[in-house]
Amino acid sequence: MASSNDLVAELAKFKDPNLARDLVHAIERFSPEGGATLMEVCGTHTVSIARAGIRDLMPVGTRLASGPGCPVCVTCNRDIDTVIALARVPGVTIATFGDMTRVPGSTSSLLAEQAAGRDIQIVYSPLDAIALAQSNPDKQVVFVGVGFETTTPLVARAVKRAADLGLSNFSIFAAHKNMPGALEAIVADPKLEIDALILPGHVSTIIGVEPYKFLAQRYGIPGVITGFEPVDVLQGIAMIMRQLHEGRADIEIAYARGVMPEGNPNAVAAIDEVFETCTATWRGLGDIPGSGYRLRDEYASFDAVRRFQPDVEPTVEPKGCRCGDVLRGIMAPSDCPLFRKVCTPENPIGPCMVSSEGSCAAYYRYY
């Protein structure tokens, strides 16, 4: 078994300045004449790129665009308003991850509802929400399920657990989404002109390589699954540049220590057992068929919306907020007229400034 010193030494390689320098030179050598537009579609990549200053290392003409990789950010206002409406149902306790409490809906937020006396509880996993329901049988606990394929299996297992326990006071609001559907919407948009994709590491540990192959086969878009340390990201970009230089489009893995080509079949099976795909509304991208998850009929009793049928207020988009365009990669956060002036982490107008993985929050902190 490796010692802690061995692990520290191994991890240090992924921040090695000499290795990083060699990769930057490779990126410059293989960069297409006139440059290219690469999109990272993972919020953790967005933060890593900003924190390490990787945008400033790119060749002239090469642009790194941030995509819809933050699950909190892509949750549409209608879904936020629905969660707020559920919080207002008498006897309901909302269990959610911390980021979601600060995301503004049309006229309120979960944080504002908590200040008004609603029962909002921060949890760190869906199993915490089940424990909350078990210890409070007089309350209806609603877990807010937000995330991509990385978190969806955990929620699926929680629903199964609740069913096995016969918990009648536990349900979920499912706003889960899958990444491939959004990627197709992006590469098919003629306004974006994306040349290649830096593919997400976390999601890919679950789904593997196969779900991305359509990008290369149907659209001719190269993609590389990439890790999160500076050298990881630079290696992924170098592999993309080599593909562009050689005129080919493949889906490759630059994160072999974390991603197997087949992904995690058990996690995928857990999703498929409890959920079925449906049309989902993405902030900035609109309705994308097959990109969301809803509970299968046999688990419909755990659907909070079906159970409580909350009265959801009319949806109003935040005035002047350009989160949608940022998520599509059309504009950088700093180009939004609200950025740093009205919209700040202390006073977020849109979700991209709320989440720790949001593009606007990353730009605010590092640029």
Q: What is the pLDDT of residues 97-146, one digit of tens each?
A: 988 999 999 999 999 999 999 999 999 999 999 999 999 999 999 999 99
Residues 258 and 296 in one domain: yes
Considering the domain boundaries, does residue 76 fall inside one?
yes
**What's the CATH number where 54 sits?**
3.40.50.11740
In a domain, 29, yes or no: no
Same domain, 114 and 255: yes
- Would you say residue 15 lies in a domain? no
In a domain, 2, yes or no: no
The residue type at 43: G
| Within-domain flag for 316 | yes
The pLDDT of 36-43, averaged and rounded, is 95
Do 294 and 361 lie in one domain? The reply is no
Q: Which phi and psi (to 5°) does residue 147 adopt? A: 150, 170
220 lies in the same domain as 348: no
Asked if residue 10 has pLDDT above 70, the reply is: no
Look at residue 292 and tell me whether its pLDDT is greater than 70.
yes
Cβ atoms of 290 and 176 closer than 8 Å: no
Please identify, among 287, 305, 322, the residue that sits at the C-terminal boundary of a domain: 322
Averaged over 337-366, what is the pLDDT? 94
What pLDDT is attached to residue 265?
Answer: 97
Same domain, 262 and 303: yes
Three-state DSSP at 304 gives: helix
pLDDT at 3: 62
Q: Do both 219 and 332 map to the same domain?
A: no
pLDDT for 168 beyond 70? yes
pLDDT confidence of residue 108: 96
* Contact criterion met (CB below 8 Å) for 359 and 326: yes
> Which tokens in the block code for residue 238?
């170098």
Provide the pLDDT confidence category of residue 205 given band limits of 50, 70 and 90.
very high
Which pLDDT score, from 0 to 100, does residue 318 have? 86
The stretch 296-312 carries a mean pLDDT of 97
Quote the mean pLDDT of the chain.
94
Q: Is residue 157 part of a domain?
A: yes
Residues 315 and 329 in one domain: no
Q: Can you say how many angstroms the Cα of residue 227 is from the centroid of all Cα atoms in its chain?
A: 15
pLDDT at res. 16:
84
Number of domains composing the chain? 2
Written as six digits, the tokens of 294 are: 């809803």
Mean pLDDT, range 328-347, rounded to an integer: 94
Give the pairing of strands 286-295 and 275-282.
antiparallel
Domain limit, last residue, from 286, 304, 322: 322
What pLDDT, on the 0 to 100 scale, is given for residue 7?
Answer: 55
Determine the Cα–Cα distance for residues 305 and 13; give it in Å rounded to an integer.
48
Asked whether residue 281 falls in the same domain as residue 198, the answer is: yes
According to the model, what pLDDT value does residue 87 have? Answer: 98
Interval 282-309 mean pLDDT:
96
Asked if residue 264 is part of any domain, the answer here is: yes
- 312 and 353 housed in the same domain: no
Dist. CA 61–CA 100, nearest whole Å: 36
Write the pLDDT tens digit of every residue in 225-280: 999 999 999 999 999 999 999 999 999 999 999 999 999 999 999 999 999 999 99
| Tally of residues, the chain | 367
The residue range of the domain holding 354 is: 323-366
Q: Is 319's pLDDT higher than 70?
A: yes
304 plus 356 within the same structural domain: no
Q: Measuring CA to CA, how many Å separate 40 from each of 55, 69, 133?
A: 12, 8, 38
Question: pLDDT band for position 1 (50/70/90)?
Answer: low
Q: Degrees (nearest 5) of the Cα angle 285, 290, 291?
A: 45
* 23, part of any domain: no
Mark whether 179 and 51 lie in a shared domain.
yes
Same domain as 248, residue 160? yes
Q: Model confidence at 4, in pLDDT bands (50, 70, 90)?
A: low
